[in-house]
Structure 1
Amino acid sequence: MPIRWRLTLFNTLAIGLILLAVGLGLFFLLRGLLLSDLRQTVAERARAAAAEIREVDDEDEAIDGEDIEDLTLDGAFILVRDGEGDVIFQTVNLASSPENDPLWRRALEEGRAVSGTAALSAEAPDHVVAVPVSAPRNPARVVEAGMSLEPVEQALAAFRTALLIGLAAGLVISAAGSYLLARLALAPVDAVVRAAEEMGSTDLSGRLPVANPQDEIGRLAATINALLARTEAAFGRQREALGRQRRFAADASHELRTPLTSIAGYARMLERWALKDPDAAREGAAAIRREAERMQHLVEELLALARGDEGRPLELGRADLAEVAEESAAAARAAAGDRVSVVWEPPEGPVEAVFDRERVRQALAALLDNAVRYTPEGGRVSVRALRRDGKAAVRVEDTGPGIPEEQLGMIFERFYRVDGTRSRRLGGAGLGLSIARQIAEAHGGAIEVRSVPGEGSSFTLLLPQEGPRKL
């Protein structure tokens, strides 16, 4: 059963039960009021008639019918019985016998007023009150006053009919109102369903309509829209990642093909001429060794990136970042020789942090290799450790050609080179900065770069002092 019909049925039943309870309450309240008023009237008439009878002291004195008649103007009737139950006075002709009216006997026996229902008038049943009287010189012993219950029953029957009609009308109105209310309340759901059905399996740009963001359905639609936005962003990142992977595979294939082509060429040269020419053999062997080393370096960089992409766990420990930076600067100085001056600027004290010593050393080696590689002969590369904004940092500055501002956002892309021809001639594959940024981000840090074309560049490795934040 659809939700709107279930809501309609539930609301209709609930309203129907409420109307029924209210109707029954009113019915019994009205019944009690009518019966109470009738009983009170009959009791007053009985006491008044009994008082009139007590005033008759002589046996031969007749009962004043006019005074008694005044007590019956509102539909009541009066009977006066002797000790045997015979009627000695009545206001109307009643179809009564002692057997049909046990109340007078109870009143005589108990010596007090009693009330009940009896069939005395033509409009029976009647409510009757019997009051015993004590008149030594008068045969009257019991005075009975009564009123027919038929008017009360007629009033209650009319009220009951009106109540049933009102209840039926209320049920119809409540059912129609509940259905319209449920339809209006669920209209946004229908709109959401239609919008969801119109969305394609690959098109996540559509959004669900939000009629009222403050109600439950609006919040649900807004939540689904937020989920769609996150899913769309995730798919976008996945597409970008796949695109980068394709470009990465193509670039890696191209970079590996170059040394392999050189190795194959020198191998053919050795096969044809080197056996007769020792100089050519030495030249070919040296070239093959250089290309093999270049290929080995490239493969190691690719392996480092692949391990970083897999999220290889870090071997964290507290250490002095300045000590690692000094060691990296010494290694870069030895590799640069006399071509470039690599200067270490010691800090005033230790720069301690929690990091993976070998991975950070690898990142610094990549930054220094990049600085030394692009700094012209006679240039200068300076290295120093420092604290900044609650983080441990290592800054590498060079006096190289600098990087154009429009290319600063792309230098960390894999295989990207600012000057492709010059970079290839210098032996770079364009992976060093990608590896350095990957290691920094794995530690919860970052790499900042500033560059002025013609003056040089500055790369700053930032690491949290307490290590990467645990999620």
Structure 2
Amino acid sequence: MSILPRPAPPLPDAGPRESVRARLRRPWTLQARLMTAVIGMVAFILVMIGISTSAILSQVLIYNLDASVTDTASSIQPRAAFQSSAENVLESTRFPDGTLLVLNSVTSERITGAVVDSDGPRALTDDDLGQIAKSLQSADDSALTVNLPNLGEYLVRSYAAPGGGAFLVGLPLSNVTGTIGAILTTVALVTAGGLLLLAVIIAIVIRLGLRPLRAVAETATRVASLRMEEGDVSITERVPADQVDTTTEIGQVGAALNTLLDRVDASLTARQRNEELMRRFVADASHELRTPLASIRGFSELSLRAMRQAQDDESRQRVALAVETTEQSLERIQAQSIRMTTLVEDLLLLARLDEGQELVYGSVDLTRLAVEAVGDARPAGPDHSWTIDVPDQPVELAGDASRLHQVVANLLANARTHTPPGSEVAVSVAHEGAEAVLRVHDDGPGIDPSVAAQLFERFARADRSRDRKTGGTGLGLSIARAIVEAHRGTISVRSVPGDTTFEVRLPAKPADPV
């Protein structure tokens, strides 16, 4: 016997019903909501106007009909005392069709009734008389509405007859109901036609009004389909200019989307530029590190080879040569290690400056700092002419003295390195407005215009051959810019042959450091 459970019976398929429910729960479009709200409100107002108009007109018509009943009764009243039946009274004078008369004569002591039709007065049936007999029991002037089995609804009034007895006069309500019906039919047809025309006009107006919003949606859809994960991405999609109008709400949405796309496009361009700079930076850093590493490896292999040869040949000459070779190799290894350490420290400094670290704020006298930097540069460049121009009063600012000294030292080393012997390097400090200004000028050959724009980039060099005779890392000016920008200042360069000036501007009274 199998102990497996039996499969449960399949549930009934409610596909069509569920799909109808799903469609009913589906949110309406903005156009459908607006049309439903406007048309529903207008239809409600028109229906209320039609009902109110019909009620007022019905009262007016009934009032006029009651006046006609009163006029008819006034012409019948003199004859009611002398006639024995209602037919005789109605035959004596021509009355409008539908005029109803019920007479309770004292002389005949019986109730008679007649109604005027196209053939003249016609006696009422017993059913009609029985329906209105109770109205004759009260001989007053109140108007009553009675529904006669064979005649329909009537507006009647009962009056006292001269000499005793009573009579009842009535006119049909068919004219009133017919008029009201015709008016309601006309109002209904006009309302339906007006609502249909209103729906068409509203649909056209809403469709034209929502066209800018559809243009926004189409633009956003096209932008969403773009691949922006990597590579050079440019967003050229924009909301058409004819659909952007800042004076309308929907037009403002289009203008806001275009502004957003402009900023996103600029951000993507900046991201691509940063990625290219990062790739170039990694390549340059790898190149800079590869050279000392290759030197270290080569000299270490040379030392090992000399030591092994000395072990194989125990002569004093071989041992002395191995010791000399090893000593030179170790010196070269030490030099390359120092160079690589300097490069790594510069890279670490740049990274920390980018993160807002490595700055210790205090009061800095830019005048004294410039004088000390020039004093340090003179022994390193005895073939150059060094001059300095500083004001009598100190130019003070808030900053990191050691890092600002590094900026000035880098600028002076850059001027010494890239100008021939005998060139003049002039340093000046000034206080201009709310800024402290430091300028380093030289009369060297100038900077190649092709590299002037990238001069402050990392590993930027005027010499594309990557010659390292200067012993630098190619990060001096980029470090200077990072330090100056960390102090909320700016650094720039102007260069023509024979006139090159680096200018550093720092806030003389900066805000509280972050």
Gap change, CA 1:5 and 1:406, over 3 Å in 2: closer
Q: Measure the CA separation in 1 of the matches of 2:263 and 2:318.
A: 63
Corresponding residue for residue 39 of structure 1: 63
Residue identity (%): 29
Please state whether the residue corresponding to 1:338 is helix, strand or coil: coil
Unaligned runs of 5+ in 1: none
1:218-233 counterparts in 2 under 5 A?
A: 218-233=251-266
Q: Measure the CA separation in 2 of the matches of 1:358 and 1:94.
A: 127
In the alignment, is residue 139 of structure 1 matched against residue 172 of structure 2?
no
Q: Which moved more, 1:370-379 or 1:165-174?
A: 165-174
- Deviation of 1:126 after TM superposition, in Å, equals 0.7
Give, as a single letter, the amino acid of the residue that structure 1 aligns with 2:164: P
Gap change, CA 1:68 and 1:228, over 3 Å in 2: farther
Corresponding residue for residue 313 of structure 2: none
In the alignment, is residue 374 of structure 1 matched against residue 399 of structure 2?
no
Cα deviation, 1:191-221, whole Å, max 9, x if unaligned, reads 4366347644565434044251125555444
Q: Which moved more, 1:457-466 or 1:276-285?
A: 276-285
Corresponding residue for residue 457 of structure 1: 500
- Deviation of 1:403 after TM superposition, in Å, equals 1.4
Corresponding residue for residue 8 of structure 1: 32
Query: TM-score scaled by structure 1?
Result: 0.79
- Deviation of 1:409 after TM superposition, in Å, equals 1.1
Gap change, CA 1:45 and 1:157, over 3 Å in 2: closer
Q: Which has the higher contact order (CA 8 A, sep 6+)?
A: 1
Please state whether the residue corresponding to 1:392 is helix, strand or coil: strand
Cα deviation, 1:282-323, whole Å, max 9, x if unaligned, reads 655554444333333222222222223344374444543334
- The partner residue of 1:150 within 161, 174, 181 is 174
In the alignment, is residue 431 of structure 1 matched against residue 456 of structure 2?
no
- Deviation of 1:459 after TM superposition, in Å, equals 0.8
Cα deviation, 1:242-270, whole Å, max 9, x if unaligned, reads 22222222222222333344444555555
Corresponding residue for residue 396 of structure 1: 440
Gap change, CA 1:226 and 1:469, over 3 Å in 2: farther
In the alignment, is residue 126 of structure 1 matched against residue 154 of structure 2?
yes
- The partner residue of 1:100 within 103, 124, 132 is 132
Corresponding residue for residue 26 of structure 1: 50
- Deviation of 1:369 after TM superposition, in Å, equals 2.0
- The partner residue of 2:235 within 198, 205, 225 is 205
Please state whether the residue corresponding to 2:469 is helix, strand or coil: helix
Unaligned runs of 5+ in 2: 1-22, 307-316
1:443-454 counterparts in 2 under 5 A?
A: 443-453=487-497
Q: Which moved more, 1:241-250 or 1:349-358?
A: 349-358
Query: TM-score scaled by structure 2?
Result: 0.73
Give, as a single letter, the amino acid of the residue that structure 2 aligns with 1:339: D
Corresponding residue for residue 144 of structure 2: 116
Corresponding residue for residue 362 of structure 1: 406
Gap change, CA 1:66 and 1:78, over 3 Å in 2: closer
Gap change, CA 1:275 and 1:450, over 3 Å in 2: farther
Give, as a single letter, the amino acid of the residue that structure 1 aligns with 2:339: R
Q: Measure the CA separation in 1 of the matches of 2:364 and 2:150.
A: 116
In the alignment, is residue 258 of structure 1 matched against residue 291 of structure 2?
yes
Q: Measure the CA separation in 2 of the matches of 1:411 and 1:388.
A: 26
- The partner residue of 1:321 within 366, 373, 380 is 366
Please state whether the residue corresponding to 1:402 is helix, strand or coil: coil
Contact 1:103 1:115 in 2 (8 A): no
Contact 1:27 1:156 in 2 (8 A): no
Corresponding residue for residue 377 of structure 2: 332
Gap change, CA 1:447 and 1:468, over 3 Å in 2: farther
Corresponding residue for residue 305 of structure 1: 350
Q: Measure the CA separation in 2 of the matches of 1:327 and 1:425.
A: 26
Gap change, CA 1:263 and 1:463, over 3 Å in 2: same
Give, as a single letter, the amino acid of the residue that structure 2 aligns with 1:11: M
Contact 1:371 1:381 in 2 (8 A): yes
Give, as a single letter, the amino acid of the residue that structure 1 aligns with 2:64: Q
Q: Measure the CA separation in 2 of the matches of 1:245 and 1:445.
A: 24
Corresponding residue for residue 7 of structure 2: none
Please state whether the residue corresponding to 2:436 is helix, strand or coil: strand
Q: Measure the CA separation in 2 of the matches of 1:181 and 1:253.
A: 65
Contact 2:57 2:180 in 1 (8 A): no
Cα deviation, 1:98-145, whole Å, max 9, x if unaligned, reads 76254443444xxxx211212469532111233457x5xx235x4543
Q: Measure the CA separation in 2 of the matches of 1:315 and 1:250.
A: 32
Cα deviation, 1:386-410, whole Å, max 9, x if unaligned, reads 2235322211222333213343212
Contact 1:7 1:178 in 2 (8 A): no
Q: Measure the CA separation in 2 of the matches of 1:192 and 1:421.
A: 48
| RMSD over equivalenced CA pairs, Å | 4.2
- The partner residue of 2:222 within 173, 190, 195 is 195
Gap change, CA 1:268 and 1:246, over 3 Å in 2: same
Q: Measure the CA separation in 2 of the matches of 1:387 and 1:465.
A: 8
Q: Measure the CA separation in 2 of the matches of 1:129 and 1:341.
A: 133
